[in-house]
Amino acid sequence: MDINFHSKRFLKLLGISLIVPITLFEINTINKQIKAEKNLIAASEKDLFLYRQMGASYLCIASKAEIDFKKSLGVASATFANVIIGKHGGAIEELGNKKLDEKRLYNAGTFQIIGSALNICPESVPKNIKNDYEKRLKQFIKESKK
C-alpha cells in the first residue's frame, strides 16, 4: 500500500509548516539573549547593599550551623561576585559604571560581607578576622583621605 501523491504533498507541507515556526522561534530566542546581554545595568548602591546583606546573612546562619567560617565566607563572597557579574556584567554604578573582574569583586565582597556580619552577628566572626577587618578599614579610610 503506497502513499498516494496527495499524502506525500500533505506531509511535505506539514513538515514545512512545523519547521518554519520552530526556526523563527530559535532566531527570536537568540536575539533576545543578545539584547539581554547588552542591556545590563550597573549595580547600584541599593543592589550592592542587598547582595552584601544576603552574604552576611548566609555567613551568620552557616556559623551558627557550625560550618567552617572561612569556607562559608568563600561561598558568600563567590556568590556576591557571581551575582554582580551575571546580573550587572561586573559593572558598579558608584565606580562610574566601571566593570570589575571576578577576583576584585570577590575581594570587595569579602570585605563588605565581613563588615555587615560584624553588624548582624558579631559573635559569629572570629576575633582574628575582626581584627584584620578593622585594620584594613583604618588603612582604607587613611588612603581615601589622601
Residues 99 and 90: beta-carbon distance below 8 Å: yes
The whole-angstrom separation of Cα 41 and Cα 103 is: 20
Tens digit of each residue's pLDDT (9 = 90 or more) over 109-123: 999 999 999 999 999
Q: Give residue limits of the domains in the chain.
A: 1-39, 45-145
> What's the predicted TM-score (pTM) here?
0.71
Range of weakest confidence among 3-7, 57-61, 92-96, 121-125: 3-7
Read off the pLDDT of residues 91-142 as tens digits, 9 standing for 90 and up. 999 999 899 999 999 999 999 999 999 999 999 999 999 999 999 999 988 8
